[in-house]
Amino acid sequence: MRQYETFELTYRGPAPTGSHVTVDLAAVFEREGARVEAKGFYAGNGTYKVRFLPDAPGAWVYRVRGIVEDAGALQCEPAAPGRHGLVKAEGMHFVRQDGARYQPFGTTIYALVHQEKALVDRTMRTLAAAPFNKVRMCVFPKDYDYNKNEPQCFAFAKTDGGWDVDRPDPAYWEMLEGRLRELDALGIEADLILFHPYDRWGFAKLTKEQGLRYLDYAVRRLAAFPNVWWSLANEYELVRAFTPDFWTDFATFLGTASPHPHLLSNHQIITAWDFSHPYCTHCCLQSRKIDEATAYAKRYGKPVIYDEMCYEGELVHDWGNLSGAEMTDRFWKVCLQGAFATHGETFLNPEEVVFWSKGGDLVGESPARIGFLRTLLASLPGPLDPQLSQLEEHGDPYAFVQSMKDKVVPGFTDGPFFQMLITFTPKELEGLLGLMKRYAARIGDAAFLQYFGRTTPYVAVFELPEGATYTIEVVDAWNMTRTVVRTDAAGKVEVPLPRREMMAALAVRNA
118 binds a second copy (CB under 8 A): no
Instruction: List C-alpha distances in Å: 138 to 40, 113, 151, 454, 457.
Output: 23, 7, 12, 35, 43
The one among 91, 431, 444, 491 contacting a second copy by CB under 8 A: 431
Stretch that binds a second copy, among 214-222, 225-233, 297-305, 310-318 (CB under 8 A): 310-318
Q: How many residues interact with a second copy (rule CB under 8 A)?
A: 40
Cβ atoms < 10 Å from Cβ of 78: 12
438 binds a second copy (CB under 8 A): yes
Amino acid at 202: G
Stretch that binds a second copy, among 80-88, 145-153, 298-306, 430-438 (CB under 8 A): 430-438
Stretch that binds a second copy, among 60-68, 94-102, 403-411, 429-437 (CB under 8 A): 429-437
CB contact at 8 A, 492 and 464: yes
The one among 26, 124, 315, 388 contacting a second copy by CB under 8 A: 315
CB contact at 8 A, 30 and 61: yes
202 binds a second copy (CB under 8 A): no
By C-beta, is 361 or 501 nearer to a second copy? 501
Where does residue 46 fall: left (phi above 0), alpha (psi -120 to 50 degrees), or beta otherwise? left
Residues 442-461 interacting with a second copy (rule: CB under 8 A) = 452, 454-459, 461
By C-beta, is 118 or 435 nearer to a second copy? 435
By C-beta, is 125 or 288 nearer to a second copy? 288
CA 348 – CA 409 distance, rounded (Å): 60
E strand map for 245-302: 264-265, 283-286
CA 276 – CA 338 distance, rounded (Å): 19
325 binds a second copy (CB under 8 A): yes
Stretch that binds a second copy, among 132-140, 210-218, 249-257, 312-320 (CB under 8 A): 312-320
CA 360 – CA 379 distance, rounded (Å): 30
501 binds a second copy (CB under 8 A): yes
491 binds a second copy (CB under 8 A): no
240 binds a second copy (CB under 8 A): yes
The one among 17, 209, 270, 410 contacting a second copy by CB under 8 A: 270
By C-beta, is 96 or 330 nearer to a second copy? 330
Q: What is the CA radius of gyration of the chain?
A: 25
> Could you say which DSSP state residue 77 is in?
B
> Could you say which DSSP state residue 499 is in?
S
CA 477 – CA 332 distance, rounded (Å): 8
Stretch that binds a second copy, among 76-84, 164-172, 222-230, 311-319 (CB under 8 A): 311-319
321 binds a second copy (CB under 8 A): yes
482 binds a second copy (CB under 8 A): no
411 binds a second copy (CB under 8 A): no
By C-beta, is 253 or 319 nearer to a second copy? 319
274 binds a second copy (CB under 8 A): no
Which residue in 273, 270, 143 sits closest to 203, CA to CA? Answer: 143
By C-beta, is 97 or 357 nearer to a second copy? 357
Report residue 341: phi and psi, to 5°.
Answer: -135, 160
CA 430 to chain centre: 29
By C-beta, is 27 or 441 nearer to a second copy? 441
Question: Shortest Cβ distance from residue 321 to a second copy (Å)?
Answer: 4
Question: Shortest Cβ distance from residue 452 to a second copy (Å)?
Answer: 8
CB contact at 8 A, 8 and 51: yes
The pattern of x and - marking residues 332 through 371 that bind a second copy according to CB under 8 A reads ----------------x-----------------------
Question: Shortest Cβ distance from residue 349 to a second copy (Å)?
Answer: 11
The one among 12, 407, 492, 499 contacting a second copy by CB under 8 A: 499
* HEC-encoded secondary structure of 96-144: ECCCCECCCEEEECCCHHHCCHHHHHHHHHHHHCCCCCEEEEECCCCCE
Report residue 37: phi and psi, to 5°.
Answer: -110, 125
426 binds a second copy (CB under 8 A): no
**263: Cβ contacts below 8 Å, ≥ 6 apart:** 86, 87, 88, 89, 94, 191, 229, 230, 281, 282
Q: Which 3 state secondary structure label does DSSP give 147?
A: strand
Cβ atoms < 10 Å from Cβ of 51: 22
CA 216 – CA 21 distance, rounded (Å): 7
The one among 316, 467, 488, 492 contacting a second copy by CB under 8 A: 316
58 binds a second copy (CB under 8 A): no
390 binds a second copy (CB under 8 A): no
Question: Shortest Cβ distance from residue 363 to a second copy (Å)?
Answer: 11
Amino acid at 115: Q
Instruction: List C-alpha distances in Å: 275 to 256, 278, 299, 464.
Output: 17, 8, 9, 35
392 binds a second copy (CB under 8 A): no
Binding site residues, a second copy, CB under 8 A: 237-238, 240, 269-271, 288, 313-316, 318-319, 321-323, 325-326, 329, 348, 420, 423, 427-428, 431-432, 435-436, 438, 452, 454-459, 461, 499-501
